Chains A and B, each alone.
Chain A
Amino acid sequence: MIYDDLQPSTARRTLTASARLLGKLRLDGPLLLAICATAVFGLVILYSASGENLALTRGQLLRMVLGLVMLVLLAQVRPKYLRMSAPWIYALGIVLLVIVAVIGDIGKGAQRWLDLGVLRFQPSEIMKLAVPMACAWLLHERPLPPNFTVVLVLGLLVLFPVGLIAEQPDLGTALLIAASGVLVVLLAGLRVRVIIAIMALLPALAWVGWGMLHDYQRRRVLTFLTPESDPLGAGYHIIQSQIALGSGGVFGKGWMNGSQAQLEFLPERSTDFIFAVAGEEFGLIGLLLLLGLYLFIIGRGTYLAMQCQDTFSRLVAGSISLTFFVYVFVNAGMVSGLLPVVGVPLPLVSYGGTSMVTLMAGFGILMSLHSHRKLVGS
């Protein structure tokens, strides 16, 4: 009986071993577990949403694995190097964005991709991480809250790439990048009077901008804000996704049984509107589970951010966690009809894009920032 305590059980031994392994790999167990759980749930939803398309689901799985590799690799990089490289990555991203814009101009069409022959990728994905890192780099070792000049520079740092991406036009990504930069600034702290000044300026700016728009541009903005006024165009998405969510009820219609999704009433069902498929097939319960996982990831990420000790790490880690929230909120809000339709995918669940890899990379950076902190004087 006494020796039982001295002879740890197999389960306990395994746990200890994996904890040690995670520690060595500089990973955070709970966060990694929640990410993987969400991604697996996502695969289950995607398989149904894609109409049992195994090849597509396998492709998503491959991207997940690639993302996990990125996560593990980035977790090994020392925060010092991340900080030092931040401005360079930012500059590289800007150059690529400009190249894409120029090629797009020549090709006379929307251009987001950069084709490098062997691989094609969207430079805007780099900016999702480069913008918060560059902002945090600028704020590092500066007195906080930043003075007006620094805020102005930060504003330009965020707005330039956001403008380029919004021009592509990719409003969803532009919005996310803007959020990630703004969150860094907000976390760094702004004087109350600066916040008030900006709040006061916004309506004035909007008013001036509205006056400068052409009639047809105004109409476009209005349709964008109230899609219900255009039930034959953008409004169709919202009407169908609300029917999907509503008819799912509390318990859902069951996996692969959503009539809205399976009969193709729901547009973009495996990408931007996959949240509605989840709601139709798994009901409110399923959505609560999904949102619970997301909130856990955000909470854990924020907790790790708070434990970081230098400004750069805290700001980047905080921004990554909170931007993840923006993802979830904007997508869920748009699918449920709370927000206008903006092309923002549901993180870790929506099919495709490089966004899965970027998200994982972000979490890798987050884990690196946390695990490399010096455990002194806490």
Chain B
Amino acid sequence: MFLRRTIAAGVIMAILIGAVLTKLVQLQVVRHDYYVDLSQGNRVRVEPVPPNRGLILDRNGVVLAENLPAYQLELTREQVPDVDATLQVLVGLKLVEADDIDRLKRLIRSRPLFEAVPIRLQLTDEEVARFAVRRYDIPGVDIRTRLTRHYPYGALGVHALGYVSAISEQDLAKIDASQYAGTTLIGKVGVEASYEEELHGSPGFRQVLVNAQGRPVESDNPLQRDLQAKTAVSGNDLILSIDIRAQRAAEEALAGRRGAVIAIDPANGDVIAFVSLPGFDPNAFARGLSRSDYAALETDIDRPLFNRVLRGAYPPGSTIKPVMALAALDYNAVDPNQVRYCRGFFTLPGSSRRYRDWKPAGHGWVNMQEAIAQSCDTYFYAVAQTLGIDRLSAFLTKFGLGQRTGIDIEGEKPGLVPTREWKLKTFRDAERNWFPGDTVILGIGQGYMLATPLQLAHVASIIASHGSTFQPRLVTAVRNAHTGVVTRAPTHASTPVDPDQPERWKRVVDAMVAVMSSAHGTARATAVGSTYQIAGKTGTAQVFSVGQNEKYNEKEVEERMRDHALFISFAPADAPRIAVAVLVENGGHGASVAAPVARKVMDAYLLPDTPPKPETPKS
């Protein structure tokens, strides 16, 4: 039995070894000449063919990010005799900065031996000429034409679009390197980063014959017929909900200030405009920033790289009052028709501390609608005190405050809705307790509460749609670059707020309309001459301290201690198509500074206009 098995094993082994020998004979005898050619002098290099990155378009098809050809300097390590010496030569030719050598060496080492590593993006014609003269002294370094990212409108919408820039070592750790063979740029923030997978596509390759220096040789070589190739699959195009007209109107209206504007379609969460100023030119990143250029952007006191829409957390100020009113109605804590007397300040029972109204003389007798329209503080101090912190924070949370809205780009901050537990965890000793005074000032959006401009627009959108909560989104559809088939992204709705209480919503919306149109409405100046009805709420948030990272400057400190101006709004009030939140850092009053910005965005979006023309972009 054992003998028979052993003989069988012997036969199988003979067959298998026969297969190996056949393969070896085929390689070493039959195709010997072919492989000798490959190994000596002529070598086959596998050259990756990078995919075309998907385009980014606005809702009307205007191109916001495209690809243009550019010259790029690349180094292939397996063909460079001495990387250090080669880099030194390039420094001598002023093609590489001496400061960048260490970074480049690390980058070169981190990629495979046979891969061409881009060491300079977007060379000028003069630089190309300088290289061409010395080209034959520098084996393994070559200029190649590659598609590079271009943003025709420059800084317009940069905080939504994001930008691409050279793949860093950190990026390499996160991505599948073979998918990025031959690719130079990768999305870093915004849509470009969050939709990297859609935009990138997948690379192809082709085998090229190269001589010992690594340069491609003529195509009539007999080895040519054995070469293989595979075409790259382009990335998908993204269609954004952004409307470039509204976007531009917002940026122009806010120009020269620091702040944020965000407009959302209340019917589906589509982001119509997404502005954080100051911005920066994303083309500079695609071109490759030198170390000092980047440092300048990073240390700029106005923080151009900071995405205020997503990451700026501000006290919402009086813009929170409509939500407070809804909370009072929801818990049946206040009769909206009952008038209360405002004498210019509010005191807690048994305390003499005065919580002041912004109008020292007081608003006199006001009901809920008048309190919102005139932004009476004492009315809402009382509302907050009646409701108490636990009910307040629970209700604020229903509006998506204190949590990320879930917008489809990364980096969002959750803001803060304070609770007893939060204070207990955050502070020490006596400070840990929740005081009645903390609740009182929460009534006018001051104190511990923080919200991002995006959250404020989200709140406005919830009020506009009478409780529907859609996750804000920038990308509404994906277009296949090869087939042209457009796939629409689904909207994401979470639990609606009080959907069966239309009269409560109407009451608050009416009050917000009164802000814009009643005789004492705080933003009545803004609505003058508009053909549609606007609902809005102004806000002014106190700045308690200058940020720690900001440098002091006598004149600027004064400017930077000024209040933040806020405004939330939507229009048309009866059938809202756009909800807008505006924040102007140190802008002063919401009514005079922030509200006009919102009006301009609404005009640009709502008023009949000539169809969007792909205007000549500045190059």
Contact = CB atoms under 8 A, between A and B. Distances in A.
A302 B228 CA distance: 45
B32 A246 contact: yes
Contacts of A306: 2-3, 6
Given A187-B2, A318-B2, A336-B23, A245 B35 contact: yes
Contact of A246 (B1, B6, B10, B28): B28
A171 interface: no
B2 A336 contact: no
Contacts of B20: 291, 329, 332-333, 336, 338
Contacts of B21: 291
B31 interface: yes
B181 interface: yes
Interface in B112-136: 112-115
Given A189-B5, A264-B113, A291-B17, A247 B178 contact: no
Given A144-B1, A247-B38, A338-B23, A232 B32 contact: no
Given A247-B38, A249-B32, A306-B2, A242 B178 contact: no
Contact of B181 (A232, A265, A284, A287): A232
Interface in B13-44: 13, 16-17, 19-21, 23-25, 27-29, 31-32, 34-36, 38-40, 43-44
A236 interface: yes
A130 interface: no
Given A189-B1, A236-B46, A336-B20, A250 B39 contact: no
Given A239-B46, A243-B39, A322-B9, A314 B27 contact: no
A325 B13 contact: yes
B27 A242 contact: yes
Contacts of B36: 246-247, 249
B78 interface: yes
B88 interface: no
Contacts of A239: 44, 46
B48 interface: yes
B46 A232 contact: yes
Contacts of B29: 249-250, 284
B205 interface: yes
Given A302-B6, A306-B3, A314-B2, A232 B178 contact: yes
Interface in A156-196: 183, 186-187, 189
Given A187-B5, A230-B178, A336-B23, A302 B10 contact: yes
Contact of A232 (B1, B5, B34, B48): B48
A329 B16 contact: yes
Contacts of B5: 186-187, 189, 318
Contacts of B1: 144-145, 189
A248 B6 contact: no
Contacts of A338: 19-20, 23
Interface in A236-260: 236, 239, 242-250, 259-260
A246 B31 contact: yes
A308 B292 CA distance: 78
A325 B113 CA distance: 34
A287 to B, nearest CB: 6
A242 B35 contact: yes
Contacts of B39: 243-244, 246-247, 259-260
A298 interface: yes
A248 B28 contact: yes
A266 B6 CA distance: 37
A146 interface: no
A287 B24 contact: yes
A295 interface: yes
B207 interface: yes
Contacts of B28: 245-246, 248-250, 279, 283-284, 287
A259 B40 CA distance: 8
Contacts of A302: 6, 9-10
Contacts of A305: 6
Contacts of A247: 32, 35-36, 38-40
A254 to B, nearest CB: 14
A239 B9 CA distance: 32
Chain A CB within 10 A, most for which of B1, B23, B36: B23
Contacts of B44: 239, 243
A283 B17 CA distance: 17
Nearest to A249: B32
Contacts of B25: 284
Nearest to A336: B23
Interface string A187-224: 10100000000000000000000000000000000000
Interface string B182-226: 000000000000000000000101010000000000000000000
Contacts of B38: 243, 246-247
A283 to B, nearest CB: 7
A329 B203 CA distance: 34
A230 B203 CA distance: 11
A8 interface: no
Contacts of B16: 325, 329, 333
A23 interface: no
A22 B428 CA distance: 82
Interface string A272-307: 000000010001100100010001001000100110
A317 to B, nearest CB: 10
B23 A337 contact: yes
A247 B46 CA distance: 19
A231 interface: yes
Contacts of A260: 39
B114 A243 contact: no
Chain A CB within 10 A, most for which of B32, B34, B113: B32
B2 A231 contact: no
B211 to A, nearest CB: 14
A248 B207 CA distance: 22
A314 B1 CA distance: 12
A233 interface: yes
A300 B228 CA distance: 45
Contacts of B34: 246
Nearest to A314: B2
A189 B25 CA distance: 35
Contacts of A231: 46, 205, 207, 228
A333 B115 CA distance: 27
A145 B1 CA distance: 9
Given A232-B46, A233-B178, A247-B38, A298 B13 contact: yes
A231 to B, nearest CB: 5
A319 to B, nearest CB: 10
A178 B340 CA distance: 85
B490 to A, nearest CB: 21
Chain A CB within 10 A, most for which of B34, B35, B114: B35
Contacts of A318: 2, 5-6, 9
A259 B6 CA distance: 42
B2 to A, nearest CB: 6
Contacts of B228: 231
Closest 7 CB pairs of A and B: A246-B35, A247-B39, A247-B35, A246-B27, A233-B178, A249-B32, A284-B28
Given A231-B207, A279-B27, 10 more contacts: A189-B2, A232-B112, A243-B38, A243-B39, A246-B32, A259-B40, A305-B6, A306-B2, A333-B23, A338-B20
17 contacts: A144-B1, A187-B6, A231-B205, A232-B115, A232-B205, A239-B46, A243-B44, A245-B35, A246-B31, A246-B32, A247-B39, A264-B113, A279-B24, A318-B6, A325-B16, A332-B24, A333-B20
Interface of B: 1-3, 5-6, 9-10, 13, 16-17, 19-21, 23-25, 27-29, 31-32, 34-36, 38-40, 43-44, 46, 48, 78, 112-115, 178, 181, 203, 205, 207, 228
